Amino acid sequence: MDNVMDKQDKKVLKVCIDPTCEAVAHNCPKKETHCRDCNMILVEIDKKTYETKFINNFFQYDYNTDELVTPAQMGYSKQIQLDLQ
């Protein structure tokens, strides 16, 4: 029973499917399905997908605190690259 509860309470990395939203939710509960920003659907992604496709998204937040965060604050060693051209 405890193992089932642990899986339900697990915090995961999710992104919004709306291409105009670009929200990335760190520490998001697995049961959460809607984006706080636009109310579209959140989908779970793995670390590799995050690092290759979403690490440079500006709107990344910690779901627990609702504060904007950087990848470094969330434990990722890759730095954000800005394309200013």
9-64 pLDDT, tens per residue? 578 999 999 999 999 999 999 999 999 999 999 999 999 999 999 999 999 999 99
Comparing C-alpha atoms, which of 81, 74, 80 is closest to residue 12?
Answer: 74
The predicted model gives 65-83 an average pLDDT of 79
d(CA 12, CA 26): 7
Sequence spans of domains, the chain: 2-68
- Residue 59: closest CA among 38, 33, 41: 38
**pTM for the model:** 0.77
Q: Tell me which residue has tokens 């659907």.
A: 41
